[in-house]
Homo-oligomer: A and B are copies of this chain.
């Protein structure tokens, strides 16, 4: 939570935190600005003081929505600096840095710089700033960062938003189920009223409209049938006609349009009927899911213990896994899950080799075991999102039913 920042900064001997980037979506900047990402803005948080947002004068109105104190580049005479160096923005930025250090009275010591931005710029800029301001070394973090730690526990406001997006996502799942169910079969194909095939693209267009009506988006949603389902990150093929009896992996991870908190859910559907082999694998994945959930006993527990339970279960059924066969492209090929928030992938990690993450109150995580056999045209995954609530209980926020077979009514 944001309240943890001063302590985390102190542990890292930081005199100030700067969160910056460019116009790209920037989740760390959005998070420290109370959910509002102001493109191009820079946040300065000196040790023990509240954060200030610095923007161009054109962004003032948008910046105020963050609730932070707002300053503009004009407050630092940036135009004059730019003129002084004949339009050389790189040198003007260096001058600006010095004025920021002065204005916020940042004591000699490390300045931590975080955010999403141009790698090529910051490789050079960190060197330039080190030369010009040797009393204020610019440092980053590689590995588990203070933002990873602070963002993995959500405050009550964030939980409320996350619950709302979960509820809206559930509505979209129901609407999608009903949409498909309202069609009829011709032979092994699912068809529209006019007899033309219902395609993956048709379904995705339907889902996007449902998301749009709720001001949500999920550009990279997965709706992958048959062999596509066997490749966990295949988004599916838009021209594919929907077929009876084929496993479909449907992974929906919407967030507020333009950036915001995420929900993450996967269901596997087989229209009309399920082949015995698919039904068996589905039952096995559902068992692994339940074993993982049941492995949670209390807050403070290492996160990998849930994955250990899922691995034991699926290896017991004879599936190759990341643990038994590192690098395998068939079987249970991925980790159990991850934290979610403003980013689709946050800490804690539920990978079997990540020993340092624990499950604690305020975490929002996914649990998503799956097995994949593309050459047999099979992929199965089941995923809910969970909150570790204030009482230390692991609670699913994804109520949508986990039925495999989707019967047609049309």
Contact = CB atoms under 8 A, between A and B. Distances in A.
Interface string A122-137: 1111101000000000
A196 to B, nearest CB: 18
What copy number does this chain have within its complex? 2
A220 B258 contact: yes
Interface string A67-92: 00000001000011011000111100
Contacts of A326: 79-80, 83
Contacts of A115: 118-120
B345 A61 contact: no
Nearest to A122: B119
A20 B119 contact: yes
A258 B208 CA distance: 12
Contacts of A128: 142
Contacts of A74: 327
B112 A141 contact: no
A118 B120 contact: no
A232 B40 CA distance: 15
Given A120-B141, A123-B138, A142-B121, A62 B234 contact: yes
Interface of A is mostly: mixed
A123 B122 contact: yes
A21 to B, nearest CB: 7
Interface stretch (A52-60, A165-173, A305-313, A388-396): A52-60
B124 A140 contact: yes
Contacts of A10: none
A105 interface: no
Contact of A217 (B217, B228, B231): B217
Contact of A119 (B82, B116, B234): B116
Given A24-B25, A59-B233, A90-B142, A114 B124 contact: no
B138 A120 contact: no
A287 interface: no
A90 B90 CA distance: 29
Contact of A345 (B23, B118, B145): B23
Interface string A312-341: 000000000000001101000110000000
A116 to B, nearest CB: 5
B142 A125 contact: yes
A106 interface: no
Contacts of A219: 217, 257-259
Contacts of A121: 140-142
Interface in A233-254: 233-235
Contacts of A87: 353-355
A35 interface: no
A96 interface: no
22 contacts: A20-B119, A39-B220, A58-B233, A61-B231, A61-B234, A74-B327, A79-B326, A79-B327, A82-B353, A88-B143, A113-B120, A114-B118, A116-B116, A117-B119, A118-B140, A120-B147, A123-B123, A124-B141, A125-B142, A126-B126, A205-B212, A209-B212
Given A23-B344, A115-B119, 9 more contacts: A24-B24, A25-B25, A58-B232, A59-B233, A114-B118, A114-B120, A117-B117, A123-B138, A124-B140
